[in-house]
Amino acid sequence: MYFVIVKDITSGEIVDKAELSVNDNIGGELAHLAWLTRKQYENRYPSDKYRVTYEEANSWEELQLKLKNDLSTSEEIFTMTGSRTNLLLVNISAIIFGIVLIFLLLIIRLIYNPFIFIFGIIILFLYFYFDYKRWMKKGIQMVKIDKKGITVYRGNKMRPTRIEAGQITGINVFKKLNRKIVNILLGGQADSSLPGVTLFSGPRIRITDDAFSEAEFKIFIEKLRELRPDIY
């Protein structure tokens, strides 16, 4: 069984919940159903005040006991949840900015042509459409940080990837326009010797603030620094 839970970020109080269960023959649909329910709650509850998550347990009583046992260590585990609405707003803003920029560039270069302008708009829409679909399928939708490491959950099936603190060899944080980007390096390093350019070696996990609230992303960066202060 899955339980979709809505918590007040400030108080930690559960303000709403949904209990989900299906027959064994369609058990594989349960995670996707929980994900859809979570998205419905996200549209209902503002992300700056509420956090929507889902937990797996055999019963509500079992989950309550688990939450009670975790209460003493709740401050040690930080959870950041992505929002489809946040990502859509970011993409729409980027499309509007891109349209204005294309128009100005065409006017400045004296090559304004309605066909070129419309073609540029279509390219923008396609790019951000596929970016949104990619995030839905493979993007990082939730992050949890504890004292020992970080767990990222990808795609609508929330596939987890665990990273122990000792695996992290570098943390790179930078801002591009209004966008914050975090690169967690796993075996490599970041080379910023070239002005305005950062080169990465080895595997890394890249997390942007596109789908996350600004307040949560700031806390995420702070918690990440606390996890490995020796390499930051």
Given a cut of 80, is residue 10 above it in pLDDT? no
User: Does this model's pTM top 0.85?
Assistant: no
Cα–Cα distance between 132 and 211 in angstroms, integer?
10
Q: What confidence score (pLDDT) does residue 27 get? A: 46
Do residues 38 and 88 share a domain?
no
Residues contacting residue 49 through CB under 8 Å, at least 6 positions apart: 8, 9, 10
Calculate mean pLDDT across residues 76-82.
83
122 and 177 share one domain: yes
Q: Which domain holds residue 27?
A: 2-72
> pLDDT tier at 29 (50, 70, 90 boundaries)?
low
99 and 33, same structural domain? no
Q: In what order do the strands lie in the sheet with 2-8?
A: 14-20, 2-8, 50-56
Which residue, 72, 88, 108, sits at the end of a domain?
Answer: 72
**What's the mean pLDDT in 181-198?**
81
What average pLDDT is seen over the chain? 82
Q: How many domains, the chain? A: 2
pLDDT tens for each residue of 92-136 = 988 999 899 888 888 877 777 788 888 889 999 998 899 888 988
Whether 146 and 223 map to the same domain: the answer is yes
- Do 18 and 131 lie in one domain? The reply is no
